Structure 1
Amino acid sequence: MKKRNVAFLHPDLGLGGAERLIVDAALELVSAGHAVDIYTTYHDPQRCFEETRGSGGFGVTVAGDWFPRHIAGRFLALCAYIRCILAALYMAWLSFKGKAQYDAVIVDQVSVVIPFLKHLTRSRVLFYCHFPDMLLAQRRSQLKKLYRIPLDWVEQTTTGHADLVLVNSAFTQGVFKKTFSRLAERGIVPDVLHPAVPIPSDGELQEADATWEAKLDRDLVSFMGGGPMLLSINRFERKKGISLAVQALHEFLIRAPGSLPKVTLVLAGGFDARLPENVQHLQELKDLVRELDLHDRVRFVVSFTDSQRAALLAACTAVVYTPQFEHFGIVPLEAMAAKKPVIAVNNGGPVETVAHEETGYLCEPTPAAFASAFRQLLCVSEDGGTSDARQMGEAAKARVQAQFSRAAFGCKLQAHLEAAMKDGGKIRRT
């Protein structure tokens, strides 16, 4: 396969599932011999994935960061568009000067940059759609609805300029078709490219099992107390439904047998003090824990390192994943790769990754349903269900290895890249 010069353009290279996908994609292309650079409008070396600090074999360039993120707390989407356009113009300037020329640019999240890259450079442009932004935007007022009209039009129109459109799941593919009706009428169909995760070896997992206590705060280790620990990993955003995990634990404890070892819940997630919702929702969750009198059962871990994330996965009995209609969700894959069963909502991306009653449980998004899954996993044997969790964990890792490995993801990405290069920029149509 011909070696290519490839660039990524991503709005905010922080910590999250979208960022993890971009980093993994870059790593796989680098390992295949391609030259890779990532452009972004924000990158904090203190709050990012380790590979973006230089160890990944690709460069990270920040551009457009001088433009504000918002204007008096408003116009966040518009400002994000402008920041990304500035980054795209910087890439075009480098291309014009002959300092950085790319065979292909992979854009995700913000499609508005696609026409700029298409017309100002010679690069093929691939767009990775995590989920239509127009469906994520809130429209609580008439003014906000009017504000979104041109942005929604721009999103659909510019998405249609890409040489190839990819989506992260069959669920998103269906939503894409319904949402971007003008593109559907043109016969534009995105291909599915599931995100992937690195799969630790059994030796690495055994080492994590033996050393996780040393990597976590002593108070947190003491809090767990050696009993079953349920783990939630999500950004502290309301749409992630983290309160469902807290309410489900409360429901479970009401009916749990007295002989069961102490069950705890750790709520871990990315936290950005710049974002008001992160600050507000973390406090809302703490208030809920206090209201349900679960202070001795629930702990919060904010903004952890990759090492601490691995330690938390090693320490837990199962991972609780609560977002509804999540377009994909990388956390269930990370959990299963670490041999942990997943209890998730029975819609969205987890339906494609979690095998019900084999690698975990898919539940209705209610405290009662999740509490029932907790009971099935934790109360079926004298050891607190750990034997059953281990069996599910083994099946979970085997599933990820077969269907969602990073190597398989890299091969599929390269195939899509080559298709975009050979098709002369013709977007796939039915």
Structure 2
Amino acid sequence: MAWIVFLHPDLGIGGAERLVVDAALALKKKNHNVHFVTTHHDQDHCFIETRDGTLPVTVVGDWLPRNIFGRFYALCTYIRMIYAAIYIVFFSGLKPDIVFCDLVSVCIPFLRIGDFKILFYCHFPDQLLSKPGGTLKSIYRAPLNWLEEITTGQAHKILVNSKFTSGVFASTFKRIVVVPDILHPSMNTRPFDDTKPLPIDEIIIKDLPDNSFIFLSINRYERKKNLKLAIDAMNELKKCVPAAEWSRVYLVMAGGYDTRVIENVEHYEELVVHAEKLELTDKITFMKSPSDIIKLSLLKHCHCLIYTPPNEHFGIVPIEAMYTAKPVIAANSGGPTETVVDGTTGFLCNITAEDFGKAMAKFIQNEDMRKQFGDAGHLRMKKLFSFEAFTEQLETVVDSLRNIKLRQD
């Protein structure tokens, strides 16, 4: 049994947060002691396991600024994480054997002061997530990018979430000679098995016909998620199917929404306005930060998942849809190319509304194919991306870390 502390910058709702929560649950299942340290944890915007006492959480440094006059978000995040690392080393009293950190690597040199092993999970290089800017932005990012590479290489073990990210990692961090191991994210299937879905008419206010066909999109309200494509695909779909078929088609767009994040607020409004311009308002339901039970219910009631992000690092939502035996239509790039089998569990499309719309039409017009693809996806998820497989692989990583001898820094 080991003591494992998870250090994460903002324990909210998102793919990275779902992964670390699942990792903690997996290790707890293996009888390890787990504890979260984070710089922000909103009780109204987090996964239930971090709220109901299943996973203990300590919040430190939330008083530190998140930005300076609407800028320098990365720098402020670095400072907050360094503060949290210092807390773990000197003031927490936790004395972990292993610290599992992700997203921000600059805290690693400070964690190395403590006598414990450091596991870093790279969802994607942070410097590639930074939005492009002018000369001043480049000057500001240069030392941060250098620090990210140097400090990432100081972890005792590095994991990435997909083959796609592994390739990006190698091409981005040329100074790091260690090849990271791949640990695909998984999902805890117990909530899906134990939760009785809410009736669809309690979730969607629209008066849906009994034979309605529901497409579902789940992603944060961020422009990089390319959510506009789902709306444009609906507009193309209208041209591909007869009026009788179109009359029963609906799209639900559910996504993480945080009022503190300006982009969430702005992009939500952009999407609503875009749907209005295309006269699709009556066909689309927008949802902000659906609760776990609503999300599960949507996945169980929908007929097909639409996954629009290009070059997504992995993408947990497609395997959640596959577990509920729903086919997936996704962009033919990034993580979905490792989870979705084109023509077997769904369709991998060019990132155009026309391609997505044509794929959507196939499932509406061929019920047998939809069910066949859904069943194939369920089997694939259980075989390759189950929580059990994730747990065993992570346990192997922890065992290897516990057995290595720390070199003197």
TM-score range, shorter chain: over 0.9
Correspondence 1:128 to 2:128? no
Answering whether residue 392 of structure 2 is matched by residue 411 of structure 1, we say: yes
**Do residues 65 (structure 1) and 62 (structure 2) align?**
yes
How far the C-alpha of 1:314 sits from its partner, in A, is 1.4
1:111 to 105, 113, 123: 105
Structure 2: which amino acid aligns with 1:370? F
Aligned residue number for residue 36 of structure 2:
38
TM-score by length of 1: 0.91
The residue that corresponds to 1:213 in the other structure is: 200
* Deviation of 1:388 (Å): 2.6
Alignment check: 8 A CA contact 1:197 1:337 kept: no
Q: Distance in 2 between matches of 1:202 and 1:177?
A: 36
Q: How far apart in 2 are the matches of 1:406 and 1:331?
A: 14
Query: Kindly tell me: are residues 425 and 362 of structure 1, through their superposed partners in 2, closer, same or farther at Cα, counting changes over 3 Å?
Result: farther
Equivalent-residue separation in structure 1 for 2:90 and 2:191 (angstroms) = 44
Query: Counterpart in 2 of 1:85?
Result: 82
User: Shift in Å at residue 204 of structure 1?
Assistant: 4.7
CA–CA distance in 2 between the matches of 1:64 and 1:306?
28
Q: Secondary structure at the match of 1:111?
A: coil
Judged with a 3 Å threshold, the aligned counterparts in structure 2 of structure 1 residues 215 and 401 are, in CA distance, closer, same or farther, namely farther
> Equivalences for 1:246-265 in 2 at 5 Å?
246-260=231-245, 261-265=247-251
Q: Which residues of 2 match residues 12-23 of structure 1 at below 5 A?
A: 12-23=10-21
Query: How many Å separate the matches in 2 of 1:202 and 1:68?
Result: 38
Cα distance, 1:203 vs. partner?
Answer: 6.3
**Residues 77, 103 of structure 1: alpha-carbon distance in 2 compared, 3 angstrom cutoff:** same
Residue of structure 1 aligned with 2:223, choices 232, 238, 262: 238
Residue from 329, 334, 338 that aligns with 2:315: 329
Q: Contact between 1:166 and 1:192, CA under 8 Å: does it hold in 2?
A: yes
The amino acid across from 2:221 in the alignment is F
2:382 is the counterpart of 1:401: yes
**Deviates further, 366-375 or 389-398:** 389-398
Query: Shift of the alpha carbon at 1:356?
Result: 1.0
Q: Quote how far apart the aligned CAs of 1:75 are.
A: 0.2
Contact 2:192 2:296 in 1 (8 A): no
Map of 2:328 onto structure 1: 342
1: CA distance, partners of 2:119 / 2:157: 5
State the Cα deviation string for residues 209-251 of structure 1 (Å, max 9, x = none): xx4336525x14x246641010000000000000001001101
Change (3 A) 1:180 1:396: same
**CA displacement at 1:114 relative to structure 2:** 0.6
Decide which of 196, 200, 223 is 2:186's aligned counterpart: 196
CA RMSD of aligned residues (A): 1.6
Letter in 2 for 1:150: P
CA distance in 1, matches of 2:102, 2:209: 39
Q: Deviation string for 1:93-128 (max 9, x for gaps)?
A: 136xxx211000000000000110012x11100000
Q: Distance in 2 between matches of 1:320 and 1:229?
A: 10
Which ranges of structure 1 fall in alignment gaps of 5 or more residues? none
1:291-323 per-residue CA deviation (whole Å, 9 max, x = no partner) reads: 111111111011110000011111111010000
Instruction: Report the Cα offset of residue 160 of structure 1.
Output: 0.6
CA contact (8 A) 1:94 1:101 kept: no
Alignment counterpart, residue 421 of structure 1, candidates 380, 402, 405? 402
CA distance in 1, matches of 2:174, 2:303: 43
SS at match of 2:393: helix
| Distance in 2 of aligned mates of 1:409 and 1:74 | 38
Change (3 A) 1:203 1:237: closer
**How far off is 1:198 after superposition?**
2.0
Q: Is the 8 A contact 1:40 1:87 kept in 2?
A: yes
Measure, in 1, the Cα distance between the counterparts of 2:35 and 2:193: 32
Contact 1:319 / 1:343 at 8 angstroms: preserved in 2? yes
The structural deviation recorded for 1:89 is: 0.7
TM-score, normalised to structure 2's length?
A: 0.96
**CA contact 2:240–2:358 (8 Å) conserved in 1:** no
Number of equivalent positions = 406
Deviation per CA, 1:66-113, whole angstroms, max 9, x where unpaired?
101000000000000001111111111136xxx211000000000000
Between the aligned residues of both structures, percent identity stands at 45
Q: Does 1:9 align with 2:24?
A: no
Q: How many angstroms apart in 1 are the aligned matches of 2:184 and 2:330?
A: 18
Gaps of 5+ in 2: none
> Matched residues in 2 for 1:215 and 1:68: separation?
40
Amino acid at match of 1:418: D
Q: Distance in 2 between matches of 1:215 and 1:55?
A: 29
Distance in 1 between residues matched to 2:202 and 2:27, nearest whole Å: 31
* Cα distance in structure 2, aligned partners of 1:70 and 1:92: 25
Asked if 1 retains the 8 angstrom alpha-carbon contact of 2:240 and 2:357, the reply is no
Letter in 1 for 2:44: Q
Q: Contact 1:212 / 1:312 at 8 angstroms: preserved in 2?
A: no
The one-letter code of the counterpart of 1:141 is G
Structure 1 Cα separation of the partners of residues 192 and 379 of structure 2? 12
One-letter amino acid of the structure 2 residue matched with residue 416 of structure 1 = V
Q: Tell me: CA distance 1:201–1:112, structure 2 relative to 1, closer, same or farther (3 Å).
A: closer
SS at match of 2:106: helix
Task: Tell me the equivalent position of 2:26.
Answer: 28
Go from structure 1 to structure 2 and tell me whether the alpha carbon gap of 1:143 and 1:224 turns closer, same or farther (over 3 Å shift): farther
What are the equivalent positions in structure 2 for 1:286-297 lying under 5 Å apart?
Answer: 286-297=272-283
Contact kept, 8 Å, 1:215 with 1:308, in 2: the verdict is no
Return the match for 1:154 from 147, 150, 164: 147
Alignment of 1:361 with 2:355, yes or no, is: no
Residue identity in the other structure for 2:329: I
Q: Is the 8 A contact 1:81 1:112 kept in 2?
A: yes
